[in-house]
Structure 1
Amino acid sequence: MTQHAPLIIDAAGTTLSAADRRRLAHPLVGGIILFTRNWQDRRQLLELCAAIKDVREDLLICVDHEGGRVQRFRTDGFTHLPPMRALGELWMQDGKGSKHREGSGALRAMQAATAAGYVLASELRACGVDFSFTPVLDLDWGPSAVIGDRAFHADPRVVAMLSRALMQGLLQAGMANCGKHFPGHGHVAADSHTEVPVDRRSLGAILQDDAMPYDWLSNVLTSVMPAHVIYPRVDKRPAGFSQKWLQDILRGRLGFDGAIFSDDLSMEGARRIDGQVVSYAEAAAAALAAGCDLVLLCNQSVGEGRAVDELIEGLDAARTAGRWQPSEASEARRVALLPQTLPQPWDELMVQPAYMQALELLP
């Protein structure tokens, strides 16, 4: 086992360049995140994923593939998955008049959520992808356009139940899960891709609402991604750089023991720590020191990819200087996210009864 490979990076195109291969072979790199620019068709994606595994078999191939507007692969047979809000709306539909059956909407919604997880994971795995950053556990408070219909519901109980059902579908297809964005991004309007959102609620208020799904799901979540949001009544740092949020609350108070990913370090919300703009390597070291096991840098390989090289070299230097220490426990959590079963080939999947039934259950 590698001592600790915390970096998740990206690639510029539909095939690996020599620079991509060099970066992926570095011992600090533990995986790759794919985007729509890495997609042409299923055959190309399968070949790309095989090329990544040829560099190193234990690299974790990731993607943001939630359904709705966040779904990277949409053509050549991929099912268009509904936004998670559609499942929350289904939960509320118990029928009218003589067709009203208390709780029937909830049961149908849970069936549909499990089906969505199974379709999502089985299609990705058939093309060589190991892992998707899903489900979104944020509450649908209303103000957050960046979350919006990506959230299941405003009620944390509904979010927890539908997320658990979706994770069951992922598990049936051999895929781990990632709850995001801890402790909750749905209450703030600002988009952390371009701003630094601030949520001024108290710790008690956040734990009673937004963070409740993480408490209820702590024994089934395999990974968590914290928000690039500052909660100043708890800590002056964004949650992804906060020991209090990640170690004291998430691990200590809520008992979570899976992997913790940083959100994308190229986002505006990750570029400022304690009011200062920092480098990608400094941000990575700070996230790891706060309690993250893995850190993402997205969309920086396009062109010459200097930012990716600077991150790798900078984190290597931070390790040498003692500003960051590799963790065997973190590496074990990364490896645990890799699928433990062989995927179903696409053509066989298309006629598999469980898959065909799942398609019929989608809203």
Structure 2
Amino acid sequence: MSLGPVMLDVEGICLTEAERRLLCHPRAGGVILFTRNFESLEQLTELVADIHALRTPRLLVAVDHEGGRVQRFREGFTRLPSAARLGTQYDAHHGRGRELARMAGWLMAAELRAAGVDFSFAPVLDLSHGISGVIGDRAFHRDPEVVADLAHHFMSGMQHAGMEAVGKHFPGHGGVREDSHLALPVDSRHLNELESDILPFERMIRYGLAGIMPAHVVYAQCDRHPAGFSPYWLNQILRRRLGFGGVIFSDDLSMAGAECMGDYPDRARAALRAGCDMVLVCNHPDAARRVMDALDEDPDPVSIARLARMHGRRSPGWEALRASEAWRRAHETLEGLHDSPLMELDV
């Protein structure tokens, strides 16, 4: 059974029989985890192993674990700094900022991989325009060149730990005030005014970015649909102009920014037809079931091949990771970053 195009979630810290059956649906392809799915390192590792054991090839297991205020797992995991904190360090010393970004990407990925999680939806490539509250300190910087530089080093660290990166939210969520979880934001800038927001995505594609998540934002001067449902943005700009050959993940179809596209099956069809390889349906298991039952087309073989790249690579377990000098140094450095305005680091 190949990977299907739908990523959904589960309710608790272990799988129910109903969830096992749902995850064996041929259109299921992955599971996204939330804080409610975490009780301890041991429990999380067992849950992920249980999900992986359901099928061959194994389902993808993902999480939003950026650092700062978006870090789903806390107890037993290193407290990671926000992207903006890394940007502040970069402003003080470019080399220090780059090394901290690489270290943060490696540590985030190494700890998740020790639990078996395949990938995190990170890093955020949006610009810090000082407008968007939902982005805020999740963005590295206001300068697109700095964002691209820090994101490159963050991704390099992730890849060294056996994890691919997913950049978000294409072509840039930082220029709107509304939160797409709660409303449909509209960005009225013309394409030439959006080029600075697009630059980090363009650079990261050249550096080998494996995944991208588009924004539930309408860029009214370019297209009438939100970017994640727009063939213009996903095919004409992302695939053709920027040459992106990796996975396109929709943002959560349960968000208010997706409601303009109809009911859940209509949203999923629109996203897949626009160019997404996998759609996310979170916190609505009935809707996820309806979406999977409604998708009657066989998965695109090209999408299946792209998704296979997102499986995490082999990594040491928790005991071996924590016994390593690399983990100790990264853990102490990044935990200390929360307490020091300018962290001294040998680079």
Pair in the same fold by TM > 0.5:
yes
Q: Deviations over 1:255-275 (max 9, x none)?
A: 1110000000000101113xx
Aligned partner of 2:136 in structure 1 is 148
Give the C-alpha shift of residue 147 in structure 1: 0.2
**1:322 aligned residue:** none
List runs of 5+ in structure 1 lacking aligned partners: 94-104, 320-324
> Which of 318, 335, 344 is the matching residue for 1:346?
318
Determine the structure 2 residue equivalent to 1:334. Answer: 307
Question: Whole-Å Cα distance in 2 between the matches of residues 326 and 92 of structure 1?
Answer: 45
Of 183, 189, 204 in structure 2, the residue corresponding to residue 217 of structure 1 is 204
* CA deviation after TM superposition for structure 1 residue 178, in Å: 0.3
Residue 215 of structure 1: how far off its partner (Å): 1.1
Contact preservation (8 Å) 1:118, 1:355: no
Structure 2: gaps of 5 or more residues: 338-347
Residue deviations 1:260-308, cap 9 Å, x none? 00000000101113xxxx11111011000000001001111xxxx3222
Whole-angstrom CA distance in 2 between matches of 1:113 and 1:36: 24
Quote the offset at 1:354 in angstroms.
1.8
How many aligned residue pairs are there? Answer: 333
Percent of aligned positions with the same letter in both sequences? 50
Kindly state the Cα deviation for residue 65 of structure 1 after the two structures are TM-superposed.
Answer: 0.3
Matches of 2:227 and 2:288 in 1, distance apart?
A: 23
Give the distance between the partners of 1:217 and 1:123, measured in 2 at CA.
23
Q: Distance in 1 between matches of 2:286 and 2:299?
A: 24
1:237 matched to 2:225: yes
Q: For residue 55 of structure 1, give the secondary structure of its aligned residue in structure 2.
A: coil
Query: Normalising to structure 1: TM-score of the pair?
Result: 0.90
- Match in the other structure for 1:30: 29
Q: Is contact 1:260-1:292 (8 Å) kept? A: yes
Q: CA deviation at 1:358?
A: 2.1
Deviations 1:166-190 (A, max 9, x none): 0011001000000000000001000
Write the letter of the residue equivalent to 1:327: D
- Residue number among 174, 178, 183 corresponding to 1:195 in the alignment: 183
1:266 aligns with 254
In structure 2, how many angstroms separate the alpha carbons of the residues matched to 1:228 and 1:43?
Answer: 35
Question: Quick one: which amino acid aligns to residue 319 of structure 2?
Answer: D
CA RMSD of aligned residues (A): 1.1
Q: Does 1:281 align with 2:265?
A: yes
- What TM-score results when the alignment is normalised by the length of structure 2? 0.94
The aligned amino acid for 2:112 is L
1:88 partner SS: helix
Alpha-carbon offset, residue 160 of structure 1: 0.2
8 Å CA contact retained: 1:9, 1:33:
yes
Whole-angstrom CA distance in 1 between matches of 2:333 and 2:146? 19
Contact 2:32 2:63 in 1 (8 A): yes
- The 2-side partners of 1:306 and 1:122 are apart by 34
